[in-house]
Structure 1
Amino acid sequence: MIKQIKRLDSVITGCIAGDEKCKEWLYRYYYGYLKAVARRYIDNASDLEELVNDSFVKIFKHLNRFGITDDPIVLSRSFKGWAAKITSRTAIDFLRVDKNYFRVEELTDDSVDAEPVSITDKMNVQDILALLNSLPAMQKVIFNMYEIEGYSHEEIAESLQIPYANSRVYLARAKKTLRTLYQKNINSISYAS
């Protein structure tokens, strides 16, 4: 078992210097978190494992570009965000290469109402993930990028190489589908109670 290293700045410095114990600690400590980030995009277990490992390769390769701060709380938050962005981009790149994953449709800006979805305490995390995983691939990715990762529609369009308007339509459709699935899920929970 790896001895617990308390300061992330010393771990990052050790990783940059090539210390294998620091790399192993960083990998073990952040593996679950980055797997959860990748799972928002991919639900195939073998692809998920590959994506997380590819993400760590990129993290270790570019770690010298990450800015270390003196505040351990700020450092931890900024490192998690930086690593999550690398992981989400790695997943998006994987999906873009896999031409069979995305089924691009001809889109029109049809009227998709935008009713807010309110999450209740009747649903747990697994229920919410199941709803997200039931979305069509393109809707799932765009929903994650926009609503969870904070990308703009311009960034999504550029990253996925789709027209800007398509990003907006896919997001609207994803929200509409989620509202429908959510209502069905809540109704089934209400009847079961």
Structure 2
Amino acid sequence: MFCNASNEYFWWQPNQPYPVLSVQNVENISENTLREIVNGCVRNDRQCQERLYRMFYGKMMGVCMRYANDSNQAKDILQDGFIKVFNNLERYSFDGSFEGWVRRIMVNTAIDYFRKKRSSNVLLTQGEDGMEGFEEEVEEDQTNFDSPQETEFTMQDVIDAMQQLTPAYRAVFNLYVMENKTHQEIADELEISIGTSKSNFAKAKLRIRKILLNTK
């Protein structure tokens, strides 16, 4: 359910199933129209809220799916992310990409989600080998999934393979490959060491490559 700081419900009422949405092309929205929609959302105009949600549901669901274990978990992250988007619209200054602003909120929401889980599951610092806090420095693997030698695989193939990774490997892989973060930035955001980030990334890439080769 969406609510603002005053606990006023947005257009999607509580206890309703996730809506089936018709896709709206964000690229065709003019800056003036986007500004009108955002300002309407700030005024709690439900039509504007619904339109904004429809505009970004598909792309942001894709972002959340890359971090989640399954679609239900992705929907939880997505809903939390949209609550943050709506509650922070007043702070958006229309300086830079609005879609990029929304995306950063979704990624940060996913990171927060798994950081909270870590205390009980040790998701981000423990690999499948059970070596918590593994610090071994690994040689940087420069494989580019968009390079010619990888063109036999589509990005969807890579994303499907990512779903089979552990949360620790998937989080680091997403941040490094999809969000273009450095290992220092990943270490800071996930509260792990640079060595752990590099190790999890190298293992994630090896596992993805193995999964892709076994599917062809």
TM-score interval w.r.t. the shorter chain? 0.7 to 0.9
Q: Which has the higher contact order (CA 8 A, sep 6+)?
A: 1
Provide the secondary structure at the position in 2 that maps to 1:109. Answer: coil
The amino acid of 1:26's aligned partner reads L
The superposition leaves residues 143-164 of structure 1 with CA deviations (integer Å, 9 ceiling, x where unpaired) of 1011111222222111111112
The superposition leaves residues 106-143 of structure 1 with CA deviations (integer Å, 9 ceiling, x where unpaired) of 231245755555332x4344422221112222111101
Mean CA deviation greater in 167-176 or 34-43: 167-176
Identity of aligned residues (%): 30
The superposition leaves residues 11-48 of structure 1 with CA deviations (integer Å, 9 ceiling, x where unpaired) of 01111222121111101221111110101100322221
CA 1:111 to 1:131, structure 2 compared with 1: closer, same or farther past 3 Å?
Answer: same
CA distance in 2, matches of 1:21, 1:34: 20
TM-score by length of 2: 0.72
1:161 is matched with 191
Mean CA deviation greater in 172-181 or 34-43: 172-181
1:43 aligns with 2:69: yes
Please tell me whether the aligned partners of residues 187 and 197 of structure 2 are also in contact (alpha carbons under 8 angstroms).
yes
- Picking from 91, 95, 119, the partner of 2:114 is 95
Please tell me whether the aligned partners of residues 140 and 198 of structure 2 are also in contact (alpha carbons under 8 angstroms).
no
Contiguous gaps of at least 5 residues in structure 2? 1-20
Alignment of 1:117-132 (within 5 A): 117=145, 118-120=149-151, 122-132=152-162
CA distance in 2, matches of 1:112, 1:156: 15
1:107 is matched with 135
TM-score by length of 1: 0.80
Please tell me whether the aligned partners of residues 15 and 60 of structure 1 are also in contact (alpha carbons under 8 angstroms).
yes
CA distance in 2, matches of 1:180, 1:112: 18
**Higher fraction of helix:** 1
The amino acid of 1:45's aligned partner reads S
The superposition leaves residues 62-109 of structure 1 with CA deviations (integer Å, 9 ceiling, x where unpaired) of 11121225xxxxx6xx11111111001101111111132716132312
CA distance in 2, matches of 1:165, 1:133: 23
CA distance in 2, matches of 1:34, 1:50: 12
Contiguous gaps of at least 5 residues in structure 1? 70-74, 189-193
Please tell me whether the aligned partners of residues 41 and 91 of structure 1 are also in contact (alpha carbons under 8 angstroms).
yes
Please tell me whether the aligned partners of residues 114 and 172 of structure 1 are also in contact (alpha carbons under 8 angstroms).
no
CA 1:9 to 1:111, structure 2 compared with 1: closer, same or farther past 3 Å?
Answer: closer
The amino acid of 1:68's aligned partner reads F
1:143 is matched with 173
CA distance in 1, matches of 2:72, 2:162: 19
CA distance in 2, matches of 1:147, 1:95: 18
CA distance in 1, matches of 2:182, 2:80: 25
Alignment of 1:150-189 (within 5 A): 150-185=180-215, 188=216
What is the aligned residue count?
A: 177
